[in-house]
Amino acid sequence: PAEAAMREAFEETGLTSLVMRRFLGERAFDIAPFGRDEIYHRYFFHLEYEDDSPDRWRHFEEQPYDGGEPVEFELY
């Protein structure tokens, strides 16, 4: 989960100077109330950016999970 969190953080922000500080916890979510017989496991981490960043920037996730067009993120 830690490697996946770092990969996702980079893919969605474009920031390369991210450092994982610590694992915060995990949680299982039963999504049966939403019509799917599945349990989602979620992991939470504290990441820190160790560089200067602009107040606002845009980044594109080039390979969205659904295989669609790139997704634009506006970050601040």
pLDDT digit string, tens, across residues 34-75: 999 999 999 999 999 999 888 999 999 888 888 889 989 999
61 class by beta-carbon count within 10 Å (0-12 exposed, 13-18 middle, 19+ buried) = middle
What integer pLDDT is reported at residue 30 of this predicted model? 98
What integer pLDDT is reported at residue 66 of this predicted model? 85
11 contacts: CB under 8 Å, gap ≥ 6: 61, 62, 63
What integer pLDDT is reported at residue 3 of this predicted model? 96
